[in-house]
Amino acid sequence: MSYKVYFGPLTLYGAEKVDVALARPVTVHNGLGFGEYPTPDDRKLRGWTVKGQWTEKNDYRLAGWEPAHELIADLKSMMGSDDPERLIMTNGYDKTSVLAYVTDVNATETCAGVYDVTVKLTEYRKPVVRTTGVPAITRPGKIPEMPKTMTFDKPSDVGEDAVKRGNDAAQQGKPPPAINYCWTDEKGIMHQTNNPNIVPTKKTVTVFPNNDYEPGMTKTDLANARNGTAGGNDKTRAQRDHQTQVNNKSSRADETFSAMGDAIKKFLFGDKV
């Protein structure tokens, strides 16, 4: 097949074969008892390998012809530049037009003034910087944020979210969290499960990895549940201390009245009581 290949100001004439490399790796995660989940990684840069023949004399009167040694020198100069060049290729069926770098040139002289040439080109992609907000860190004694609601577009999104939570816990040296999902169906019936395989898609789902949360809890309920073993915040501690004082006063009052009753009986009836 005949190819027309242009790279920047150069015409890479005599191209007889062009190989194209496309790749997108997939990482497979362990679903912790629910099977494996694939997560597609970013697409790799495309690559092209152009193979053909260059000459020192234009015996075939080719358009855009240059002596082989000049083309090789020009490509060598481009390899030392940080600026990509426009690559245009056509073969009569499709057309490619991208920015690319030349990454390798190999020329073998098969006979006087005739070279078998292999040129490797790699796609240029402009770097993109993603910005994300910094999540707030819950301090001790502060009422925590309520569990977030999520909507999963496809079943694999549920697995990816579960795997991510497990990986985050592992990085912090914690055991995998018990992730629970809660949602309400069209009939108003509430469902709850820890199996990501049966979580519905296209529906609002409450995700809560902590077992101390129950659907319908308020922020105060959740705070009291989480802080109960740790002593709670200032308000809950004050309420608990007040209740303890009330209980102690009641106990002392009961003891006082009991002692007074015994003394009166002893005064009236003597030691017979």
What distance in Å separates the CA atoms of residue 185 and residue 179, rounded to the nearest whole number?
A: 20
pLDDT digit string (tens) for 191-208? Answer: 888 777 788 888 888 887
What distance in Å separates the CA atoms of residue 238 and residue 246, rounded to the nearest whole number?
A: 12
Phi/psi-derived region of residue 61, left when phi > 0, alpha when psi is between -120 and 50, beta in every other case: left
Would you say residue 230 has pLDDT above 50?
no
pLDDT digit string (tens) for 234-257? Answer: 544 555 555 555 555 555 556 666
Q: Which of 18-22, 85-89, 105-109, 134-138 has the lowest mean pLDDT?
A: 134-138
CATH number corresponding to 4-123: 2.40.30
Burial grade of 32 (CB within 10 A; 0-12, 13-18, 19 or more):
middle
pLDDT at position 42, please?
87
3-state secondary structure of 243: helix
pLDDT at position 144, please?
53
What average pLDDT does the segment 127-141 reach? 64
Q: Which of 80-84, 85-89, 214-218, 261-265 has the lowest mean pLDDT?
A: 214-218
Closest CA relative to residue 11, chosen from 58, 47, 43, 44: 58
What average pLDDT does the segment 82-111 reach? 93
What is the arrangement of strands in the sheet containing 190-193, beginning at the earlier edge strand?
Answer: 149-151, 204-208, 180-184, 190-193
pLDDT digit string (tens) for 143-186? Answer: 555 677 888 888 888 878 877 877 776 677 776 667 788 888 88
Would you say residue 75 has pLDDT above 90?
yes
* Helix, strand, coil in percent for the chain, rounding step 5: 30, 30, 40
Q: What is the mean pLDDT of the chain?
A: 79
Report the Cα 229 to chain-centroid distance in Å: 33
